[in-house]
Amino acid sequence: MDTAVEVEQLAVRLGGRPGRRGRPVLDGLSFTVPAGSVTGLLGPSGSGKTTLLRCLVGVQRTERGRVRVLGLPAGAAALRRRTGYVTQTPSVYGDLTVAENVRYFAALHGAGRAAADEALAAVGLAGAAGQLTATLSGGQRGRVSLACALVGRPELLVLDEPTVGLDPLLRVELWERFRALAREGTTVLVSSHVVDEAARCDRLLLLRGGRLLADCTADRLRRDTGAEDLEEAFLRLVRAGGGAGREVAA
């Protein structure tokens, strides 16, 4: 299978000023993400998930290391037509209607109204197209944000905690959407701090303190740690200081 994302010895420091180095947030990460898979990026808050995703979409200044996405250096101009990024806080325009938001991002990708309508239907918001985005609930705004990323038909879709604040039914629907996208060839990378969502991923990356604790499948993680459920497997891994599946990563 092809590789969609290749990360080698990636390190990031944040909060640096002239004459002072920042604190390390990512500390020499190396991993790959196979194309057409759903990969879950898991870890407690503050573990560096958002920073890592920002590196992949090319908006994070890095200290060292190499990040290649779809065969190109992360942030390359050509990649901006081929990747979709959904930030943790919905980044959409509150003073536009739902449809106007999605049409704007469609137009940036050279797509028309039909593509915008399709993306809205895909996130179940066709009925709210004319509503002002600021008047929506947080979960609905998140789905508008997702539609704005889907509308460009990205080859790589990067989502930062997209299920936060969603009710269980919507969460299940969203994960089915990710699976469907992956079946069609899209590579989906989702961050989450909800462990039960990990079971829905083809692969897991477990991040803690800026280091990868695990890079393997959910089954493998359970087997290596001897734990019944993933929650327990994570706890064991964190207490042991990592190690499961590292040979898979190497």
Partner 1 sequence: MSAAAAPAAARPAVRAGTGTWPTAVRVARQLRHDHRTLALLALAPGLLLALMSQVWQGQPGVFDRVGYLMLAVFPLLLMFLVTSIAMLRERTSGTLERLATTPVTRAGLLGGYALAFGAVAAAQAALTTWFALGVLGLDVPAAPGWVLLTAVLDGVLGVALGLLCSAFARTEFQAVQFMPVVVLPQLLLCGLLVPRERMAGWLEAVSAALPMTYAVRALESAAAPTGGTLGTDLAVLAGAALAALALAAATVRRRTG
Residues that bind partner 1 (CB under 8 A): 14-16, 22, 57-61, 70, 75, 77-78, 80-85, 87, 89, 91-93, 95-97, 100, 104-105, 107-110, 118-119, 122, 132, 148, 150, 152-155, 181, 184-186
The length of the chain is 250
The continuous run of DSSP H or E covering 159 comes out as strand 156-160
What residues are paired with 187 via a beta bridge?
Answer: 156
Nearer to partner 1, 12 or 204 (CB): 12
Nearer to partner 1, 154 or 245 (CB): 154
Q: Which residues contact 93 (CB under 8 A, 6 or more apart)?
A: 100, 101, 104, 133
Whole-number minimum distance, CB 54 to partner 1, in Å? 8
Whole-number minimum distance, CB 193 to partner 1, in Å? 20
Q: Do residues 108 and 83 lie in contact, with contact meaning Cβ atoms separated by under 8 Å?
A: no
Whole-number minimum distance, CB 180 to partner 1, in Å? 8
Whole-number minimum distance, CB 143 to partner 1, in Å? 14
Whole-number minimum distance, CB 104 to partner 1, in Å? 4
Whole-number minimum distance, CB 128 to partner 1, in Å? 16
Whose CA is closest to 192, among 234, 250, 246? 234
Q: How many CB atoms lie within 10 A of CB 42?
A: 24
Residue type, 47: S
Nearer to partner 1, 36 or 43 (CB): 36
CA angle 79, 17, 9 (to 5 degrees): 45
Nearer to partner 1, 22 or 243 (CB): 22
Nearer to partner 1, 86 or 237 (CB): 86
Nearer to partner 1, 173 or 232 (CB): 173
Query: How many Cα atoms occupy the beta-carbon half-sphere of 178 within 13 Å?
Result: 28
Q: How many CB atoms lie within 10 A of CB 240?
A: 11
Phi, psi (degrees; rounded to nearest 5) at 230: -65, -35
